[in-house]
Amino acid sequence: MTPARFMRCAALAAMLPLLALGGAGMARAASFNEAVALYEDHQYGEALKIARELANKGDREAQAMMGVLLENGQGVARNPAAAAAWFQKAAKAGHVGAMFALAMLHLDGKLGRKDLDKALKWAREAARRGHVAAQYNLGLLFTGVSGMKPDWKRAAYWFRRAADKGFALAQYNLGVLYATGKGVDKDFTAASEWFKKAALNGLPQAALEYGELVFRGQGVSKSEKIGAQWLEYAARCGSPVAQRRLARLYAAGRGVNQKPVEAAKWYLLAKQGGQHDTWLDLFLKHLTDDQLKAARVRAARFRPTKMRQVSQTAGGKGSLPSGGPKFRSALKHKAKPGAKPGKAQAGAGRKK
C-alpha cells in the first residue's frame, strides 16, 4: 500500500473575519478590503503599502498579509525572516493562519535551519484552534516524516480531526493506518470507508487502494468488476501503480474483458512512470508487432484525466497559487506535496 503525500502548507489558514460596520471599524474595513482587492488584481506593491500601514498599527490581518507577501516575494523582495516576524506578530495576536504559516517556515528550513520544536508548537496551536491543514500536518509530524519519533496514536488522532472535516489526504492516511493497524486496531472495513471518502474527494491514490480492497473483498463486498473500475479511474488520473495493476487485469481478463492491446497500453504508461513487472514484460513479448504498434499509439495519445481539486477544508478549497489568487482564499491554506509517510512507519502515542 502506497502512503499519502506529505502536504506542505505554506500560506495562511484563517479566512478573513467579517468586518464590523460603523465608525472607525468601517474605515479600517474599507482600507483593508482595498488591500485585498489590490492583491487579487495582482497589484501586490499597492496592496503592500496599505498592508504595511495597517500592520504597523497592530492590525493582525494586515500583519498576516505582510507575511504572505514577504514569503512569496509579491510586491517586495522575498524575505522569509521578515515574513516570519510578521507572522509571529499576527500569531501572537491570535491569527490562526499565521500560526500555521509560522510552523511551516520553521519546518521547511526557510529560516536557515529546521526548528522542529517551534514548528510543532505553532502547528499545535493552530490545530487546537481548528485549522484543518494544521491538524493534518500535525498528524504527519507524528508519523515521523520530519525526524520525530513516530507516535501513531497521536497521528491517528489528528488525521481523524482533519478527516472528519473532509480533508481528503487525512482521510487517505487514516485509511492507511486502519489497513496496517498502526495507532488504531486493524480494520479493513474502516480502511475501505476512509479510502472511499478520499477517492470521492478526488484523490487517485485512494481510488487505487479502495479498488484493490473491493477487488479482493477486504472490508467490503467483493466485486472484481467494481474494483477494476476504481483502478481504472486511478490509472486514468495518471497513477503508474494503478496503470500497472490495470494492465494485469486487461491481460488476464479479470474484472474487465480481456484486451491485450489495452493491457499493453497501460503497462507502457506504467513503465514510463517507473513501474516494472516481469510477468507483463513476458506478456508483451507474446504480442504481435501490430498489437504492440497499436498499444504504443494509444499510450502516446494518453493524457491524464484532470481530477477534481481535493477538498482541503470543511468550508472550501483554499489555496495560494501563483498568478493572483483570491486573497480571502489565500488566507486559508496552501498545500504542496513533499515527503511521504508510509505504511512501514508504525508506532503508538499517548498525548493529543
132 contacts 14 by C-beta, under 8 angstroms: no
Place of cell 502547528: 123
- Cβ neighbours of 276 (radius 10 Å): 10
Q: How high is the pLDDT of residue 308? A: 60
d(CA 348, CA 352): 12
Q: How high is the pLDDT of residue 146? A: 86
Q: Who contacts 27 (Cβ-Cβ below 8 Å, separation ≥6)?
A: none
d(CA 260, CA 264): 6
For the domain made up of 11-131, the CATH class stated in words is mainly alpha
Q: How high is the pLDDT of residue 287? A: 97
Q: How many CA atoms lie within 13 A of 256 on its CB side?
A: 19
Q: How high is the pLDDT of residue 341? A: 37
Q: Read off the pLDDT of residues 109-134 as tens digits, 9 standing for 90 and up.
A: 889 999 999 999 999 999 999 999 99
> 352, 61, 346: which is closest to 177 by C-alpha?
346
Cα 5 to chain centroid distance, Å, stands at 7
d(CA 97, CA 331): 7
> 219, 212, 273: which is closest to 245 by C-alpha?
212
Q: How high is the pLDDT of residue 30? A: 53
Q: How high is the pLDDT of residue 313? A: 32
Residues of CATH 1.25.40.10 domain(s) within the chain? 11-131, 151-316
In which residue ranges of the chain is pLDDT below 70?
Answer: 1-30, 307-352
- What would you measure as the largest C-alpha separation in the chain, in angstroms? 81
Sign of CA dihedral 255, 260, 261, 266: positive
Q: Domain 151-316 classified CATH 2.40.40.20?
A: no
Place of cell 482541503: 312
